[in-house]
Every structure is written in C-alpha cells, then in structure tokens.
Structure 1
Amino acid sequence: MSTSVAAHVVSSLASVGVTQVWGVVGDALNPFTDAVRLDDRVEWVGVRHEEAAAFAASAQAQLTGRLAVCMGTVGPGSIHLLNGLYDAKKSHAPVLAICGQVPRAEIGTNFFQEVDNDRLFADVAVWTGTLTSPEQLPHLLSQAVDAAVARRGVAVLTVPGDVGGLDGPDEAARFAPPAAPVAAPEEQVARAADILTSGGDVTLLVGCGARDARDQVLRLADTLAAPMVVTLKGKEGLERDNPFQVGQSGLIGNPAAAHALDACDVLVLVGTDFPYRDWYPTGKTVLQLDADASHVGRRTTVDHALVGDAALTLDALLPRLERRDDRKHLDRAVKEFGVWHAAQRRLLDPAHDRSLLGRVRSRFDNPDERIRPEAVAAAVDAAAPDDTIFTSDTGMSTAWLARFVEMRGTRRLVGSYNLGSMADAMPMALGAQALDRTRPVVAFCGDGGLMMLLGDLRTAVTYELPVVLVVFDNASLGMVRLEQEQGGLPRFGTDLDNPDIAAVAVAMGLAARRVEDPAALEEAVAWAFAQDGPVLLDVVTNPDEVAIPPKPTVSQGWGFAIAKSKEVLESR
C-alpha cells in the first residue's frame, strides 16, 4: 500500500527525532496535518498565529540542537512565519518550514493567495525548494533537512496544494550525519600561546559558543588570572559556580564588566559574536576563538584568530600556558562586581524605599509605590527550580532577567537575543514546555509583547502546557520610552492602555492573578509555581524604573533631564 507525499514527509521527519509540528491548518496543509494525525510519533500543535509557531520551533531547535518544524499554508499563512524564522536564522537554529502553495497549474498566474515563496524566504533561508512531483521527494526533503542541520539555519520546503495528497515514492529519504567538531589548526594554537604568555592583563569575553567548553573556559580564566565577561546568551552554562565571571557588558551590563574590558591589555573572545561595537575596548591585543570563520573580526579588529571548536581548541591551548601568580586584575574586577551586585540586591528590600536614600529615590522614580521590576525578577529567581527554562521578551524584561536571574543548576535561557523581536517570550515558552511537560518553564513577558500575540495564551490551555507567564505590566513600551528619553525626547506613543491582563487570562482558561501590592509579590510568585497548569501573573510594575547602563554618558544624562522637563511642561 503506497503512502502519500505528506505521509512520507511526516514519517521521514519522525525518523530524525521530530516530535512536534507547529502551525495553523488549512488547504495545502490538509494532507500534512492528516498525516500527523495518523502518526503517533508526531504531535500537531495548532497555534492561533503562525508567528507563534515559528518562534516555538526556533526555541525548540535552540534548546535541543535538533531539527524543529513549523508549517504555514498558502500565502498569508506562510508569510506569518517569517518573523519567527528570522529569529531562527539569527540564532543559528535548525528549523524546517513546510509552506503551502497554490496548485501547480495556477503557479505564476497571480492566483488567489499566491506568493512566490522562493523569493519571499530567499534572505531568511539557507535552502529553499518547491516540490512539484512525488519523484523529487526523497532528494528535496534530504537537501532541506541536511541544509538546515549542517548550516544551522532555516530550510523552506514549498508544497503545492495538489501535491501533498499524491502517492509518494517507495524510496525513503536519507539524511547525512552532522559534521564532527574540530580544533583550530596547530599553527593558530601555537601563535595564541605565544601572545598569551608574553604578559599583560587578560580579560575574557565569552558567549554561547563556549557553553560546551565550560570546564576549559574556567581553566583558561584561572590560568590567565582573567576576569570573564559573559554575554547574555552565555549566561546559560557559564554563570553558575563561576568565580571569574563579572556579569554582562552592553546596556544590560555593569561597571565591573566595563572596567574589566577597559583595563585589560589582551582581550580574548571565546564563542561570541557580541554585536555592539561601542562596548568593545580599543587599543587592545584581541584574540578570537570561534567555530565560524565568518564571525572573526566583524565586530572589532582581531589580531589573531583561532577557527575551531571551543572545547577542542582550548584543550590544545591550555597545556602551553603557565598559571599566572599576579591576580590583581582579576581580583579587582571580581571585587567591583561583588560590590555592584550587593548594591543591586539592596534595591530589592521593600525597606530600602523607606530609608532616607530610598525615600528620595522613590519620590522621583516611584511616587505611586508600585512594585519594582527588579523585585519581580528576584522573586521569580528565588522560587524557580534549578532546572527551569527561562524565556524573555526583548526590552526591559530582558534587562531585569539578565541582572537578577542566575543560571544556576541546569537552567536554560532562550530568547530573541539576536533578532530582538517583540512578542517572543510566550511562544518560545510554549515550544520549550512542549519538549517536556514536566520541566518548569518561565516566560518574562513585557505587556506590549504579550498583547501582540495574546491569542496564543489559549494554546497553552489547549495543549496543557504548564508555563508560568510573568508579565511586567508597566503600561508602556519601556525600552522604546528609554530610547526616547536618552535622546532628549518626551515619551510619545509608548503608553499602553492595558486591560486587566489577569482577567483576560482567566477568561482564556489560565490560572491568573493580578499583583499590585509589593507586600503580596512573594506569595503570588509561590502560588504561581504551585499551579498544575498554565498560569499568568500580571504584575503592575513601576513604569519609571531605569536600568542604568554601566557607563552612562553626559549626553544620556542631559537627554533624560531634557526629556523629563518636556514631559512635565506638556503635562501641565
């Protein structure tokens, strides 16, 4: 008995470990969703917006390193995938998108809903192809999957509406094994050793490309007496039990990390493509270790490159280095980080706002005595188990997570940290939770981001995904407001007239609470983690809270002063 093209595709994907397919049903996808219905190895997760499907697949691929799959039907359904697929592209996540197309005879006639998928997805995808006959199937599917996995990106397979139901071929699709990691060449390692043994204070900037080289990176920091600045994506796996780390750089960073970068003589980049050029120090000798040669030197001038797997390359480099006795550079950076961290923790104490300094601060930035977002992040950090997966929306919620949530134990972290999209936290949490419905998953949601894809709250209920959604409800687009005020502009267009988000969540079937009293925060967070199903905390937070950058400039200060003056005058 022959199987359909769609059944062949679904069965082949199941054979390489695909367990879920995300999308919205419709026309050209009907043969595929029916094939999923009949295959016990694969679960269909029907979302309310295809963008959520692509974000969920991106999260799954980032967390597992395996292929994840989403689907969009003809025209608009596939277009809706685009934003989440760009997130997968920029996060180097292997995702296959199966997209519908009009019947073969209508292609090129400007038919109803017709879109040129190959052109539409040309920039986001490492591979695109259109399946026009069953005979093409094994080869096109193999090419799509192999390209996504080998090049860690998005592949788009387009299937016209009259092809999915045709009889499939007898030949099964065959997939290539992943390439084995390799160390940087010997001459690169030898040159790096010469530079690192020639003296001068060293600082490490370490990213997610070194997560599997944790032991080697810690030994490198110890050997070189080097403070370790960890990127946001590098927090996972590198932050916990790390006596050398001094937090993040950039706008979410801290003065200790900024000093560690500025005060070094040699900067070593390990597995990072940290994009913000203004935050790199100048006048340093720079070494960069990365598995992808295209990353080398595109953010700052690099004096020496090592192209290879981080763990294997450091295994070859470390025996060539001698442990340094002079630890002053490291000790100063770690001490400064400890002082800054302790000061940040003091802000979490409700009694702080009743102290003299706290009363002065509150008079200006929190006159309504709303919950401080730092306290929300810290309360969740304290309550969340050590195996929690965290997601966050782009914006201020990410800043609070970066500063107040520690990636201890086996915690994981995923977000739109390269694309920087709004509305990613909730759908990524759905994707993470669907991998293992018993593992805790927490989303740090901005109110603007959550409202953008609000309909997929119901997806959590429909598919019994017990996510914990924490909404930082400051009734504004906080990061945009901050950008405006830094530039001396009064806030405009950033205020949000939110509904009672907790009441909306209850109406959609979630357990939910609205939290307005700082004294009620800790109990509400504990309640959320005690629930069996999906839960939402709508926490009304102080809209004027500012995550001060590690090196505030005079122009930023004047910008805030001018903006606040304008806001006061206009309000009067």
Structure 2
Amino acid sequence: MTTVAELIVTALADQGVRSVWGVVGDALNPVTDAIRREERLEWIGTRHEEAAAFAAGAQAQLTGTLGVCMGTVGPGSIHLLNGLYDAKKSHAPVLAICGQVPLAEAGSDYFQEVDNDALFADVAAYRHTVTSPAQLPRVLAQAVQAAYARPGVAVLTLPGDVGAMSVPGDAGVRIHVRRPLLVPDEADVAEAARLIDEAEKVTMLVGTGARAARAEVLELAGHLSAPMVLTLKAKEILEQDNPYQIGQSGLIGNPSTREAFAAADLLLMVGTDFPYPQWLPEGVPTVQIDLRAEHLGRRVPVDVGVVGDAGTALSALRGRVAAKTDRAHLDRARASYASWQERQRRLVDPKHDQGLVGRIRSRLDNTEARIRPEALAAAVDAHAAEDAVFTSDTGMSTVWFSRFVTMRGTRRMLGSYNLGSMANAMPQALGAAALDRGRQVVAFCGDGGLTMLLGDLITAVAYRLPVKFVVFDNGRLGMVKLEQEQGGLPEFGTELANPDLAAVAQALGLTGIRVEDPAALDAAVAEALALDGPVLLDVLTNPEEIALPPKATAADAWGFAIAKLKEGLVSNGEKD
C-alpha cells in the first residue's frame, strides 16, 4: 500500500519537480522521509521557511514548472507567507505543503495550531486540508492544476497523522496542466489598428507578458518606428539586440523614457501591468494588450483593450496597421537614451572622481571616498558569465542592477519586482543555483536585505550551492534614505550597524572577500566570480549616492536640499 506522503512525493517527481525546500519537523516527517527515498528529488533544508518559499518561487520563475516548499505546523507554515506572496504576485506556480495538528485535535486550540485554510486565503489560488487519504489523488491534482492555471500558489495542508496513512486501492494522480492559447477578438484588433493608424508618434511599453513574443514585438516596433520602454522584468527578454528599446521608466528609469512618453500621440502597452501610472503619459489614446482581462485599464484609462496571447495579437496588428516611415520620434528617443548611457558610463570610470568635475561631485556626495555602487555593478557586468543568473534585492541594489548590468547572451534575472520584499536576492539565488550547480549565479544583495535572512548563507555551504553574493555594503537602507530625502526629511532610522560581512561569511564556511579601496574593486570582482563554491564579496559602497528618478521635479530637488540642510543642522547641534 502507498501512503499519503509517498503518493504526494511520487506525483511531484513525475511532474518534473527536482527539489523541495523547507524545514523538517513533526507533521511533515512522513513527507520528508518519502523524499529521502525518492531518487529524483533533492531535499534542501533551509534555516528559515521564508527562504524556502523564495527559493521555490525562483525555480518556478526560471523553469515555468512547479516549485515546491514545505512548512510544518503553525509557525513553520506562517514563515512561508512572504515568499509565497512573492510567488503569487510574480505569477509563479508554487505548491506549499503545510503541516497541521492531528485530526483529533483540530479545532481545539492545540499547541501550535493555526487555521491554514484561513491563513492562506489571500495568497493561494487553491487551499485544502486533507482529512481523509481517499481525498488525496483528487485534491493534489486540483492543487497542482490551480498553481499552473493561475499561475500562482496552491497550499495543501496535512494533519500530523494523515501523511503516514495508506491510500486505498491503486490510487494514481492524474494532473492536467496544458494551457490553451487565448486568441484576441478580431473587432478589438481592428479598433486598435484604427487608433494606431491615426497616431503620428507611437511609444510602446512592453512587459514580461510578451516573453514568448519577442520576434513579434520587434517586428511591430520597426513597422511603427516606435521607441520601446521596457518594464524591469522585460529587460531580460528584450534588452539584447533591440534597436528600439530605451530602458526602464519609474524610479529606476531614465530621462529618455519620460521624453518618449511625453511626445507620444498613442501609448501601446503589451503584456504589462506596470503599477506606476504617474510615470505614464496622460490624455493620449491608449491600446493595451494583455492575457488577463482584469489588467485592462487598471493603471491608466484604455481606449481599446485586447485580451489574448501577445504574439497572436501583435501579429494580427502587424497585418492591419500601416507602416510609419518617419523615424524622428524613434531617433530622438534613442539618441537621448544613448546620451544618458554615456553619462552613466562616466560614473564607473575609476578616474572619474580624480577629474575636476569628479572632485567637485565627490565633495558633495562621496565625502568618505567610498566605492561608487555604479562601479561595482559595472564590474560585475563585465566579469560575469554570458549565461549567468542574476538576482537583486529590492531597493538601490535593483537600481544599480537595472542600469549597469546588460542582459546579453543567455543571462537570466530575478527579483521581488512585484511584491517589493526585502531579503529576496539571497534565497532566490539559492533556488537558481540548485537547478544547475555548474551555472554561475550572482546575487546583488543590499546589506539590509542580506542580514535579514543571514542564516541561510549556511544553506549555500551545506548544499554546495556556488552562489556569488555581491553585497552593496553602504551601512544604510538606501532606498528608504532616498525616499526620506526626496520628501524633505532628514535621514532617520536607516543606518545599519554592520559587522565585517566578509568575516561573517568566512565563519559560516564561505569564501569572504572585503573591498574598501576603489582601486582594488575590479580585481576583487574578477576573483570572486572565478572562485569555486559560494563566495561573499563585501564591498563598502558610498551611502550618499543619489539615483534621481527620470521625472525629478523642482519639488524633489527642494526636498533633497531641505533634507540635507536639516541633516546638517542636526549634526552641528550634536557637536555642540
């Protein structure tokens, strides 16, 4: 007879799941024992369940297949929540298997008892507590199918005495995960084409929903002579060899995107739910193409919404719209983008701060002559492999990543780009490395994010996950500092009392390298990326670095000025 735990584990292995992440314990002991005996699965025990959920979500995003994590009764399951919310908002198919108190104790406020079905109500597309072995084949199939269909999170809860029970009969699990192609309505395509033909200057905003439609996106952009603004998640698929792209918008963006939006007669949104309407053009006709009808018009008013597969919709549009041969709009946007890129490149020149302009700038924004984060990001870009997988922590680490790392070759990227959680880069990198220990994985870690889940650096050592952890160690919660100063407030509560993180890494069993001298940066990055095994590169970066958004206003500038004045007054007062 097959037990409930054995049936679950066999079915997951049959689905192509390769690793399961979590913390062992009580109610789930039958499941972890079944994993021990299943040669196709690797158990990776993390130090915190949040890291397990982030790692499973990372694997799901990279492969498009099911990621699996586990948390045992009560607190163990609760710890999964943040990583599962990230999977939900990233549309990653993840199954969480959670422990529960024995059936006879359910509802009695037993030790560690938590109502999992209520706890996961918002995050999970499917949730169910197994109360009988006979239910299992059906509910497991439903859970996996729901995770793929959304895609998103499914939660299956096992009471402590259920996992070891025998499943009656010769039960098998039949899982169906094929997704149909959603073809757009012809009338919607025709109306979208009419609006596009009426516009002189089209600007495109393209997101990760166009992942499978790269050729169609590029063809239509060329046909329309349209500059293409990329969401951060679209950077991975559309930055390389794209003569129309002009980078990102929003807080991580650049002036050329603002200019391209402002000059447009029509905005064409493809496969994006870009969440910042204040950065998008106002009062212009807008066409939006998305697989999910609920996304249409929820950021900006949409004149025509086309529901369907991006590639199919774009091909249909291409066959209906007339070519726009005037390239002035595109050429202006591309020239502006190239000029901005050149200004950015100057910042990473080691000799920049030695010149007249650099020396003046340094007196204002790098008084301690620390390493500039731009230079660190550019050095990683130069030395990283052409097939590297990058992860980035939310905040300034993502700013420097988006601006200075190019997605050439077969590089991949991950981050908490929809949820915006701290502490995501390290556990996501663990998940990526477990898929292929021979592929380079580089985590852009903020010092605040890394130290939040610091214990799971040990997981990299224990399971031979050769991640390169690059730490932007500025002793600050950098994005919060920027937000405070942009609002005219003095910096408060953002300073971090960091230890020597390279020394901490060495104590945990990693190779630790600390860099304080800008002249030593390039060689240290090259060394760290070339070493075998997990490496932590602790780089002391400039905490005063300012990354102004592309739409900075006079009020923003005044806010920074007032904040600096207040900081100066506070500092002087403390000296008296």
TM-score in same-fold range (> 0.5): yes
In 2, Cα distance between the equivalents of 1:317 and 1:221? 11
3-state SS in 1 of match to 2:164: coil
Equivalent residue for 1:474?
A: 474
8 A contact 1:237–1:410 mirrored in 2 = no
3-state SS in 1 of match to 2:351: helix
Paired residues for 1:108-127 under 5 Å: 108-127=107-126
The reply on whether 1:147 has 2:146 as its aligned counterpart is yes
3-state SS in 1 of match to 2:406: coil
Percent same amino acid at aligned positions? 65
- TM-score normalised by length of structure 1: 0.99
Cα offset for 1:138? Answer: 0.4
Q: Which 10-residue stretch deviates more, 77-86 or 354-363?
A: 354-363
The reply on whether 1:7 has 2:6 as its aligned counterpart is yes
Equivalent residue for 1:174?
A: 174
In 2, Cα distance between the equivalents of 1:322 and 1:488? 49
Equivalent residue for 2:52?
A: 53
Structure 2 portions without partners, runs of 5+: none
The reply on whether 1:106 has 2:108 as its aligned counterpart is no
In 1, Cα distance between the equivalents of 2:317 and 2:492? 53
Cα offset for 1:199? Answer: 3.2
Instruction: Write the deviation string for residues 385-431 of structure 1: whole angstroms up to 9, x where unpaired.
Output: 11111100000000000100111111111110000000000000000
Query: Aligned AA for 1:95?
Result: V
In 2, Cα distance between the equivalents of 1:60 and 1:13? 14
Query: Aligned AA for 1:42?
Result: L
In 2, Cα distance between the equivalents of 1:335 and 1:401? 22
In 2, Cα distance between the equivalents of 1:326 and 1:305? 26
Paired residues for 1:488-527 under 5 Å: 488-527=488-527
Instruction: Write the deviation string for residues 455-486 of structure 1: whole angstroms up to 9, x where unpaired.
Output: 00010011101111100000010001111111
Equivalent residue for 1:302?
A: 302
In 1, Cα distance between the equivalents of 2:499 and 2:420? 25
Query: Aligned AA for 2:357?
Result: L
Query: Aligned AA for 1:542?
Result: N
Equivalent residue for 1:400?
A: 400
Query: Aligned AA for 1:25?
Result: V
Equivalent residue for 1:209?
A: 209
Query: Aligned AA for 2:425?
Result: A
The reply on whether 1:554 has 2:561 as its aligned counterpart is no
Equivalent residue for 2:234?
A: 234
Equivalent residue for 1:267?
A: 267
8 A contact 2:96–2:153 mirrored in 1 = yes
In 2, Cα distance between the equivalents of 1:327 and 1:261? 16
Cα offset for 1:322? Answer: 2.8
Equivalent residue for 1:390?
A: 390
The reply on whether 1:73 has 2:72 as its aligned counterpart is yes
Query: Aligned AA for 1:430?
Result: L
Cα offset for 1:321? Answer: 2.4
Q: Which 10-residue stretch deviates more, 169-178 or 239-248?
A: 169-178
In 1, Cα distance between the equivalents of 2:131 and 2:303? 50
Cα offset for 1:323? Answer: 2.3
The reply on whether 1:349 has 2:366 as its aligned counterpart is no
8 A contact 1:183–1:310 mirrored in 2 = no
The reply on whether 1:245 has 2:245 as its aligned counterpart is yes
Instruction: Write the deviation string for residues 542-566 of structure 1: whole angstroms up to 9, x where unpaired.
Output: 0000111112111111111111111
The reply on whether 1:373 has 2:373 as its aligned counterpart is yes
In 1, Cα distance between the equivalents of 2:181 and 2:510? 44
Structure 1 portions without partners, runs of 5+: none
Equivalent residue for 1:487?
A: 487
In 2, Cα distance between the equivalents of 1:390 and 1:501? 20
Cα offset for 1:177? Answer: 2.9
Equivalent residue for 2:88?
A: 89
Equivalent residue for 1:339?
A: 339
Paired residues for 1:182-201 under 5 Å: 182-201=182-201
The reply on whether 1:361 has 2:352 as its aligned counterpart is no
Query: Aligned AA for 2:227?
Result: P
- TM-score normalised by length of structure 2: 0.98
8 A contact 1:387–1:409 mirrored in 2 = yes
8 A contact 1:76–1:113 mirrored in 2 = yes
Cα offset for 1:318? Answer: 1.0
8 A contact 1:371–1:542 mirrored in 2 = yes
Query: Aligned AA for 1:215?
Result: A
Cα offset for 1:3? Answer: 1.7
Query: Aligned AA for 1:456?
Result: D
Equivalent residue for 1:565?
A: 565
In 2, Cα distance between the equivalents of 1:25 and 1:438? 27
8 A contact 1:117–1:158 mirrored in 2 = yes
The reply on whether 1:291 has 2:291 as its aligned counterpart is yes
In 1, Cα distance between the equivalents of 2:395 and 2:525? 22
Instruction: Write the deviation string for residues 515-567 of structure 1: whole angstroms up to 9, x where unpaired.
Output: 00111111011101111101110000000001111121111111111111111
Query: Aligned AA for 1:368?
Result: E
Instruction: Write the deviation string for residues 130-158 of structure 1: whole angstroms up to 9, x where unpaired.
Output: 00110000011011001011110100000
In 1, Cα distance between the equivalents of 2:9 and 2:404? 42
8 A contact 2:127–2:155 mirrored in 1 = yes
Equivalent residue for 2:539?
A: 539
Equivalent residue for 1:138?
A: 137
3-state SS in 1 of match to 2:319: helix
3-state SS in 2 of match to 1:233: helix
Instruction: Write the deviation string for residues 243-275 of structure 1: whole angstroms up to 9, x where unpaired.
Output: 100010001100001100111000000000000
Cα offset for 1:183? Answer: 2.4
In 2, Cα distance between the equivalents of 1:85 and 1:298? 24
Q: Which 10-residue stretch deviates more, 340-349 or 179-188?
A: 179-188
8 A contact 2:231–2:249 mirrored in 1 = yes
Cα offset for 1:171? Answer: 1.2
3-state SS in 2 of match to 1:111: coil
3-state SS in 1 of match to 2:421: coil
8 A contact 2:259–2:333 mirrored in 1 = yes
In 2, Cα distance between the equivalents of 1:410 and 1:207? 18
Cα offset for 1:100? Answer: 0.2
8 A contact 2:477–2:495 mirrored in 1 = yes
8 A contact 2:148–2:177 mirrored in 1 = no
In 2, Cα distance between the equivalents of 1:98 and 1:234? 31
In 1, Cα distance between the equivalents of 2:154 and 2:526? 42
Query: Aligned AA for 2:57?
Result: S
8 A contact 1:131–1:157 mirrored in 2 = yes
Output the aligned Cα RMSD: 0.8
Query: Aligned AA for 1:250?
Result: G
3-state SS in 2 of match to 1:542: coil
Post-superposition, which runs of at least 4 consecutive aligned residues in structure 1 deviate over 3 A? Answer: none
Q: Which 10-residue stretch deviates more, 61-70 or 188-197?
A: 188-197
8 A contact 1:396–1:479 mirrored in 2 = yes
In 2, Cα distance between the equivalents of 1:115 and 1:321? 57
8 A contact 1:204–1:227 mirrored in 2 = yes
3-state SS in 1 of match to 2:549: coil
In 2, Cα distance between the equivalents of 1:546 and 1:59? 30
Aligned length: 571
Cα offset for 1:211? Answer: 1.6
Cα offset for 1:168? Answer: 2.1
Instruction: Write the deviation string for residues 368-390 of structure 1: whole angstroms up to 9, x where unpaired.
Output: 11100000000000111111111
Cα offset for 1:180? Answer: 2.1
3-state SS in 2 of match to 1:97: strand
In 2, Cα distance between the equivalents of 1:333 and 1:321? 22
3-state SS in 1 of match to 2:198: coil
